[in-house]
Structure 1
Amino acid sequence: MAETTLTGTTVAEVMAELAELDDPRAREVNERHGDDHGVNLGKLRAIAKRLKTQQDLARQLWATDDTAARLLALLICRPKAFERNELDVMVRQARAPKVHNWLVNYVAKKNPHSEELRLAWSADPDPVVASAGWALTSERVTKKPGGLDLAGLLDIIEAEMKDAPDRLQWAMNECLAQIGIAHPEHRRRALDIGERLGVLRDYPTSPGCTSPYAPTWITEMVRRQHDR
């Protein structure tokens, strides 16, 4: 018998709806980025809006190991309701980039255990898990920098970012940029590290978008701050 939530919606019903929305063309595009699902994100958000917050259903959807279901789970969950160990398991299960990104940004950043997780994940030998830790560090760099050793973070970035695996490199690069943008006293060194390492210098950037190459990113965002 299908497991039923308080609103009467079963996991089987949600999975059937997601299956109907699966578009082979969207799946093909998503798979190029490592995301194995074909559900339009706008339609996924519409389902989430209808279901509203349902922590039990979110946990059940996550347990299906289906990428679209996990994305929906992250939209209808209660971020503060997850235990530290539960999120640690989830981040190791979240191999699809979009699921990983949403888990970090929509849930881990809002969870009361975020600082403990930041410290543990940043030092993890798994580069995907470590990238989650660096994403949480970037959040602190911009919003709660008190107590952070920014010079020490720059030391690590300078020593390790060049040869880091893609997703960890991307997260370290974001941290480098955010230090340069938000902390003028470290800006010159952040720019220098970015220029010498050259990480993402040639990354293709769409018209109107800011390059992820740290020196360009820092310079552009600082310019916008001055133009306000």
Structure 2
Amino acid sequence: MNDTVVAEVMAELAALEDPAMRAVNERHGDDHGVNLSKLRAIAKRLKTQHPLATELWATDDTAAQLLALLICRPKDFTSDELDAMMRQARASKVRDWLINYVVKKSPHSEDLRLSWSADDDASVRSAGWALTAERVRKNADGLDLPGLLDIVEAQMKDAPDRLQWQMNNTLAHIGIEHAELRDRALGIGERLEVLKDYPTPPGCTSPYAPLWIAEMVRRQEAGSVKA
């Protein structure tokens, strides 16, 4: 990849930097001030360019890494490369995009889910639980759901914030998607009270598992009645 191209893209990103937006983003763990709609527009123009993506990632600049995740080819990354990227990622948005836009589309997704879920690094472990929540929601075949509930019940209350959030997602999706385990999931949520007081805007569903499960089940049942 021509270094000039990388330099031009970095200069374009720097020109979009907004100090006020950076101040807002930094409160959420994201050290960049680039409007994401404008960043997506750059990605749309560049289209898929995996070599450029790897060079942008290597800059360790948050905006550049976000752009890299939009123009990369997920299936071209090895398992070791994705593992290294997860450990390198500092910003919360970078970690989220890496999981949702790249790892979930990778043939290594399941192997990484298993290894990350048992990792000593809580940030990496949270990525494993994010993939687990996705498996529960989309394809739970082969998962030990009662065993996952055992872990959630024992560890979620005192887990670091990111890990706690993903464990809670897993708990909620088990309760929503698997009626035979719903009462147990509800009971765990009620006992642990994780995210019970989470500020939720009007019209939005609370992430508190008992309320979330009840609302999504209500919608499912309402949809089946209409059908």
TM-score by length of 1: 0.96
| In 1: Cα distance, 2:89 partner to 2:62 partner | 9
The aligned amino acid for 2:17 is: D
Query: Which of the residues 5, 8, 18 maps onto 1:10?
Result: 5
Match of 2:157 in 1: 162
Query: Which of the residues 21, 28, 31 maps onto 1:33?
Result: 28
Match of 1:199 in 2: 194
Match of 1:219 in 2: 214
Match of 2:183 in 1: 188
| Deviations, residues 132-153 of structure 1 (Å, cap 9, x unaligned) | 0001111111111111000000
| In 2: Cα distance, 1:206 partner to 1:69 partner | 31
Q: Tell me which stretches of 4 or more aligned residues in structure 1 moved more than 2 Å.
A: none
| In 2: Cα distance, 1:21 partner to 1:188 partner | 49
TM-score by length of 2: 0.96
Query: Which of the residues 37, 45, 52 maps onto 1:57?
Result: 52
| Deviations, residues 105-160 of structure 1 (Å, cap 9, x unaligned) | 11111100011000000000100000000011111111111110000000000000
The aligned amino acid for 1:101 is: D
| In 1: Cα distance, 2:88 partner to 2:203 partner | 35
Query: Which of the residues 23, 44, 52 maps onto 2:39?
Result: 44
* 1:84 correspondence with 2:82: no
The aligned amino acid for 2:2 is: T
CA shift at 1:62, angstroms? 0.3
| In 1: Cα distance, 2:195 partner to 2:105 partner | 29
CA shift at 1:87, angstroms? 0.3
The count of aligned residue pairs is 223
CA shift at 1:95, angstroms? 1.8
Q: Which runs of 5+ in 2 are unaligned?
A: none
* 1:66 correspondence with 2:61: yes
Query: Which of the residues 4, 11, 22 maps onto 2:17?
Result: 22
The residue matched to 1:147 in structure 2 has which SS? coil
| In 2: Cα distance, 1:187 partner to 1:85 partner | 37
The residue matched to 2:30 in structure 1 has which SS? coil
Query: Which of the residues 107, 116, 120 maps onto 2:111?
Result: 116
Match of 2:95 in 1: 100
The aligned amino acid for 1:121 is: W
The aligned amino acid for 1:60 is: E
The residue matched to 1:162 in structure 2 has which SS? helix
| In 2: Cα distance, 1:221 partner to 1:94 partner | 32
| In 2: Cα distance, 1:220 partner to 1:15 partner | 44
| In 2: Cα distance, 1:196 partner to 1:79 partner | 40
